[in-house]
Copies of this chain bind each other. A is one copy, B any other.
Amino acid sequence: MVKIETSPQQVTSRKLTVSKAMVEGIAQEMERDPSVIVLGEDVGAYGGIFSSTTGLLERFGPGRILDTPISETAFIGLGTGAAVEGMRPIVELMFVDFFGVAMDQIYNHMAKIHYESGGNVLVPMVLMTAVGGGYSDGAQHSQCLWGTFAHLPGMKVVVPSSPADAKGLMISAIRDENPVVYMFHKGVMGLPWMTKSTHALGDVPEESYTVPIGKAAITRSGTDVTVVTLSLSVHHSLDVADELAKEGIECEVVDLRSLVPLDRATVLESVAKTGRLVVVDEDYQSFGLSGEIAAIIAEEDPRLLRCPMKRVCVPDTPIPYARSLEQATLPTPTRIAAAIRDVMA
């Protein structure tokens, strides 16, 4: 087994999409451990609306890959109960936007049972869910909402951006003794029917390996400005960084990969080096991730920042349907570049 810290040591690898890498991680764990099951809406014959379970039904059969009724409270709770009895369920919430119909099972049960039991009960469960917008799916199907999950204690929250991380974090999540919320952006999956980022395809080792939960990755180092980001925005930030390098601006791009636990040290180190900070976050701006990053610095030493930080987030507005409006709310490369130029000015 290969342990990957930041970028995969190519053992035997090929290029995979995030979606295929995720599925491979799940399949390898299902081979290894008969207690791993997958349940959710359309995870069987359909293979997951965003291809998170393609081929698993054919391989593992309907006893382990289970299509559920549209009853998120019941089937997420079912996952929790099965985990309590020693299984390792991977439960899919089709869109994170639907969390509101089942949040009680998630944050009052899945997340709290271990604590309330004084550590006597384990809940080794993965809740995987699709996030993000950019294709005009409107206010109820385009949100990221990771700030909401990260705010509530008792669940780890991971958000891969690259194929290698998608596989390694999935395996780590499955093996974790704690509930892990695994959030994948539709735009990083490399789906054939959605605009693809070039970063959605990448080297992925064939072997089984884990990526540690709670460690950020410096996906590009630089000296001028720290860009703290995650998920699809990592792809955009890397593209922008390439552009700006031509102008002589060297960005350090930090892919958080995990919100809980949050790798404060990596953020602080980078900001200490660059003195400038841009947070790029596709979740709503206020009371979320960008604030937490600001707090980490303010608690350590506000004077690490030699100029005001910039936030490139979704403003506090429901996500509009019309493309012109939606694009205005998303952290697009244009907005990211403008913010970086601003802090360099």
Q: Are B287 and A289 in contact (CB under 8 A)?
A: yes
Asked if A225 CB lies within 8 Å of chain B CBs, one says: no
Best-buried of A98, A112, A298 by chain B (most CB within 10 Å): A298
**Known: A152-B284, A286-B151, A302-B298. Contact between A104 and B100, CB under 8 A?**
yes
CB neighbors of B among A73-98 (8 A): 73, 97-98
Asked if A12 CB lies within 8 Å of chain B CBs, one says: no
Q: Are A259 and B284 in contact (CB under 8 A)?
A: no
Q: Are B104 and A286 in contact (CB under 8 A)?
A: no
Asked if A33 CB lies within 8 Å of chain B CBs, one says: no
A112 to B138, CA, bound (A): 11
Best-buried of A73, A103, A305, A307 by chain B (most CB within 10 Å): A103
**Known: A100-B106, A316-B153. Contact between A294 and B303, CB under 8 A?**
no
What string of 1s and 0s marks CB contacts (under 8 Å) between A294-318 and chain B? Answer: 1101111111110111110000111
A181 to B98, CA, bound (A): 21
Residue of B73, B115, B309 near A317 (CB, 8 A) is B115
> Chain A residues in contact with chain B, CB under 8 A?
73, 97-108, 111-112, 115-116, 138-140, 147-148, 150-154, 259-260, 262, 277, 283-284, 286-295, 297-305, 307-311, 316-318, 320
- For the complex of A and B, 3 pairs with smallest distance between CB atoms: A291-B291, A100-B104, A100-B103
Besides A287-B287, A295-B309, 11 new A-B residue pairs in contact (Cβ under 8 A), listed by A number: A99-B103, A100-B108, A101-B104, A112-B139, A115-B139, A116-B318, A148-B148, A150-B286, A291-B295, A298-B308, A299-B311
